Amino acid sequence: MIFRVVNAERMAKVKKLWSQCFEKEGTPFFEYYFNDYCGKDNTVVGGFDEQDTLLTMLHLNPYMLNIRGTEILTPYIVGVATDERERGKHLFGELLQVVFQMLRSQNFPFVFLMPVAEKIYTPYGFAFIDYRPKYDLIKIHGTSNLQFEKIAPTAEILAPLYNKYVKGKNAPVRTPFQWNKLLNDVKVEQIICELIKQNDEIIGYIFIDTGGKVLEYVNLLVQENDNLAKLPFMMARCIDARAALERLNVKNCQDCSFTLLLSDDFVEDNNHLLQISVQNGILTYEGTEAEEDFSMDMATFVQLYFGVCDVLDLVEKEKIVVNNPLKLAALGRMFPKCQTYINEYF
């Protein structure tokens, strides 16, 4: 295959493949996405044959994620598609190899995506970093002490509520650009927005699609550690562990050091044996030949980094191999468990 960042001349091929796999040409979201967004505010990378036929593609949409208090530019992979005649040939894996190398050269530590099926992405080192409650709209509307008011949504109304809700969580930074994109999609897809009130005080908002599905539920009185059944929702992949460590917020971490072996079966240059140290709130690392205190693969590392599980949970699940138990407390201090909220659809 020949891999290319798609330009305007080849955008018709992208539209054709998108229409085959997702929304059809002429539908509201298709027209909005390709007229107002695709190729202007994002990047499309495709694999072409020698006749310049687009065989497989993915779209990289720009997001800023706040991860453990550090804002990290992180591409959101959407629009993953392979021509139906070419499926089963592992073309997507070849495309990912090229895209990961391209993004590594630009110093991106992570990518994330919403999987249509987990089994497609786990072979490439992706792991779940966010789990969403399955909300029941009838139960929400039936809450006796809440009132709901349908509104025409604006960033001025919703952004302060969102910012309060995600404070202290790993979450996208919704800039004016992101709010504009989100609200355009709300308009195009006729999504309903309701304010949530309690005793006439605004405490949140809810987005509901035309079929009654809850797309986003922000309620300042309901945090995601409540007893709600959750479903796997968002996956991430660490494509450059060194770049990730350079951005890790350790200001509140006590001084410590350990050796860590990171293995990556898909990105050869992402295999490392590192001596990692924190001193006076500053993290440093260097390659070493010393025996590792811990070893893990890249899927485990991304879950540790995003705080999905604490260290002892991952050890119990045999995802972290421990050679030096005396260093476990240090690893736990560097990567404490935390919450993630990523509720973006494109």
User: 258 lies in a domain?
Assistant: yes
Residue 17 maps to a domain: yes
Same-domain status, 205 and 278:
no
Please give the structure tokens belonging to residue 158. 């919703």
Q: Residue 142: inside a domain, yes or no? A: yes
Say if 113 falls within a structural domain: no
CB distance 215 to 84 below 8 Å: no
* Residues 20, 89 within the same domain: yes
pLDDT at 227: 61
Contacts of 152 (CB under 8 A, 6+ apart): 193
- Kindly report the pTM of this predicted structure: 0.96
Half-sphere exposure of 226 (CA within 13 A, CB side): 11
Size of the chain, expressed as the number of residues it contains = 346
Task: With beta carbons less than 8 A apart as the criterion, state whether 154 and 183 touch.
Answer: yes
Count of structural domains within the chain: 3
Residue 200 gets the label, from left (phi > 0), alpha (psi -120 to 50) or beta, of left
Residue ending a domain, choose from 204, 228, 252 = 228
CATH number for position 20 = 3.40.630.30
Do residue 101 and residue 7 come from a single domain?
yes
Same domain, yes or no, for 177 and 264? no
Q: Which pLDDT score is estimated for 48?
A: 98
Query: What is the torsion angle, in degrees rounded to the nearest 10, for the CA atoms of residue 69, residue 70, residue 75 and residue 77?
Result: -30
Report the pLDDT value the prediction gives residue 229, as an integer from 0 to 100: 79
201 and 258, same domain (yes or no):
no
Q: Is residue 159 part of a domain?
A: yes
Burial class (CB in 10 A: 0-12, 13-18, 19+), 227: exposed
- Final residue belonging to a domain, choices 63, 90, 108: 108
The residue out of 228, 259, 274 marking a domain boundary is 228
* Dihedral over Cα of 78, 82, 84, 88: its sign: negative
**Which neighbouring-strand residues pair with 110?**
238
d(CA 288, CA 308): 28
Q: What is the pLDDT of residue 113?
A: 98
75 lies in some domain:
yes
Q: Which domain holds residue 206?
A: 135-228
Let me know if residue 19 belongs to a domain. Answer: yes
Instruction: Say if 221 falls within a structural domain.
Output: yes
8 A C-beta contact, residue 175 and residue 159: no
- CATH number of domain containing 278: 3.30.1050.10
Q: What is the pLDDT tens value at each position of the chain, 346 positions in all?
A: 999 999 999 999 999 999 999 999 999 999 999 999 999 999 999 999 999 999 999 999 999 999 999 999 999 999 999 999 999 999 999 999 999 999 999 999 999 999 999 999 999 999 999 999 889 999 999 998 999 999 999 999 999 999 999 999 999 999 999 999 999 999 999 999 999 999 999 999 999 999 999 999 999 998 654 567 789 999 999 999 999 999 999 999 999 999 999 999 999 999 999 999 999 999 999 999 999 999 999 999 999 999 999 999 999 999 999 999 999 999 999 999 999 999 999 9
